[in-house]
Amino acid sequence: MKDSDDGFSKKNLQRLIDGNLPWEEVKKAIRLSPKDANRFTKYLELLQANVPWDDRILLRISDHLYIVSKEKGGRIVKCDCGQELGDYRINWKLSCRIYVRRTDEEMAEVITIPEARHNTDLVEMREFYCPGCYALLGVEVVPSGYPPMFEMLPDIDNFYREWLGSPLDDESKDWFQDKTLEKPAAWMKEG
C-alpha cells in the first residue's frame, strides 16, 4: 500500500538489500524527500523474516551481524547463521575466529597486483570469521599489536526512545558502555 510504504515500498527495500534494485529506482530512493518515515520498521520486518531464528532484532550492524535482545534478557550480537558473538558492548571481533596475513604471499591471495599490496614490514591483514558459518565478517590492516577496532557501539536506548519514540523495556544507563576490555581481563585471569 502506498500510504504505509510512505514513498518507498517494502518490495523495493528488499531488492535494495539483495543488491538488485534497478538503478532508476535507487535514484528515486536517494532523491526521496522527505524519506519514508517508517523505513526502519520496514527494514526490521524484512530482516526478521530473513533470519532463521526468533530473537528480536534491535539493530543490524553488518551484512551478517545483528544486535538482538534475548528472551531471558541481555542484548547480544548474532550472526544470521545463528552463531552468537556475545554482549554487543564487547567488540564482537573478540568472539571471532581470526586469521592474520603477515607475508606477501599471504597478501597475494587477496591482492593480486604486487605493487598494490601492503608493506608487511609495517602492517598485517587480520580477517575475522564467524565461528559458525565462516563468513568473512571483518578485515583490518594494522600494525601487529594494534588493538582490534570496535567498529560501532550504538546508543540503542536513546535511539529507540528519542529518535524512534518507542523506548525499550530493558533500558539502562549501562547499555551505552564499551565493555570490550573486560574480555582480555577475563582471559588474563583464565591464564
Partner 1 sequence: MGICHQDRTLREIVDEREQSFKDTGCAYGLERLELVEEDPAKFMRFQMRLVASCINARESAKLISANPMSMIQGELLFMLANAEGDVVSASYGLAGHIQCMPFIVRNIAKLGFEDDPGIHEGDIFSVNDPMYGPPHNADCYTFLPVFYKGELVSWTVGLNHIVDVGGIQPGGLGVISPNVFTDGFTYPPTKTGANFKQHKWWELHWKRRTRTEMFNVLDDKMRAAGVVSLHDRIQDVIEEFGIEYYRKGLKEIIERERRILVERIRTLAVPGKYTYLQLSAVNYKGTLGRLWPASNRNWIIHKTGELNIRTDGTLLTDLEGLTSEGDFHANAYEPAVRMLTSLGMWPMFAYTETINSSLLYMTDWNIPPGSMFNPQNPYAGTVMGLGVTAGYIFLFHNCLSLAYFSRGFLEEAFPQDGTTIGYGVAGMLEDGFQWAGGDMSLITCQSEAATPFHDGIDAAICSPNPAPDIGETEAVEFLMPTQVNIGKKLIPDFCGHGKFRGGLGIGMLQMVNKPGRSLIINAFAATDGMGACAMGRSGGYPGTNDIVVFAHDTNIREILENGGTYPRDFVEMKEWFQQGILKAESVESFKGPTPSIPCRDGDLFATAAGSKGGWGDVLERDYDLIEYDIKYGWITIKTAETVYGAKIDENGTVQKEASDKVRQAMREKRKERSVDAKDWWRQERERVLEGGWHEDIRNMFLDCLKYKKFRDQFLGMWQLPEDYSL
Partner 2 sequence: MSDVKYIVAQDAGGSMTDCFLVDTEGNFSTGKYITHPEAEKVSYMGSLADAASKWDMDTRTIHKSAISCTYTGTSMINILVTQGGSNVGLLITRGFAHLPIIERGLTWIGQTYEDILHQQLHEHTPWLVQPENIKEVTERINVGSYYMQHHSLPGTVIIPMVEEEVVQGVRELLDNGVEIIACLTLGSYTNPAHENRMAEICREIIAERGLETPVITSSEMCPVPNETERLKTLLIQCYIQETARKALVSVEDAAKQEGYNYDLMTLLGYGAAATVRYPKLAEAVASGPTGGLLGGKFISDFLKRPNMICWDLGCTTCDVGLIAGGLLPVNKSPEFAAHKVRMPMIAIDCLGAGCSHVVHADAASGRITIGPESVRADLGTMYVSDEVTIGDIDLTLGYVNPDYYLGGTIKVNKERAKEELTKRVAEPLGQDVYDVSLKILDLLHDKVINHINGIMLSKGLNPAEFTLLVHGAAGPLHLWGVERAIHFQEVIVVPWSAVFSSFGVAAADYFHRYDKAVTFFLTPDMTDEVKIMQGQVLSQTWAELEERGYKELEQEGFPKDEITFRHGISCRYIGQLSNWEVPVDVGRADSLEDIERIIAAFEQNYTNIYPSGARYPESGYQITEIYVKAAASKPKPVIHSYPLHGKEPPQKAYKGQREAFFDGQWMEFDIYEQDLLDAGNRIEGPAIIEHTQTTFLIPAQNYVELDEYKFMRYKRK
Binding site for partner 2 (CB under 8 A): 2-3, 6-7, 23, 27, 30-31, 34, 37
The owner of cell 580477517 is 127
Told to check if 6 binds partner 1 by CB under 8 A, we report: no
Q: Which stretch binds partner 1 (CB under 8 A): 48-56, 57-65, 70-78, 165-173?
A: 57-65
Q: Kindly identify the residues of this chain, within the stretch 60-79, that bind partner 1 according to CB under 8 A.
A: 60-64
Q: Are 155 and 174 in contact (CB under 8 A)?
A: no
> Which one of partner 2, partner 1, none is in contact with 187 (Cβ closer than 5 to 8 A by kind)?
partner 1
Smallest distance, Å, CB 180 to partner 1? 8
> Which one of partner 2, partner 1, none is in contact with 54 (Cβ closer than 5 to 8 A by kind)?
none
> Which one of partner 1, partner 2, none is in contact with 127 (Cβ closer than 5 to 8 A by kind)?
partner 1
Q: Are 140 and 92 in contact (CB under 8 A)?
A: no
What is the C-alpha separation between 167 and 173, in angstroms, rounded? 13
What is the C-alpha separation between 92 and 90, in angstroms, rounded? 6
| Contact with partner 1 (CB under 8 A) among 4, 82, 99, 104 | 99
> Which one of partner 1, partner 2, none is in contact with 6 (Cβ closer than 5 to 8 A by kind)?
partner 2
Told to check if 9 binds partner 1 by CB under 8 A, we report: no
Q: Are 118 and 107 in contact (CB under 8 A)?
A: yes
What does 74-121 look like in DSSP terms, one character per residue? -EEEEETTS-EEEETTS-GGGGSEEEEE-SHHHHHTT--SGGGS--TT
C-alpha cell at 142: 594494522
CB-wise, 25 or 127, nearer to partner 2?
25
The DSSP element (H or E) to which 136 belongs, if any, is strand 136-142
> Which one of partner 2, partner 1, none is in contact with 3 (Cβ closer than 5 to 8 A by kind)?
partner 2
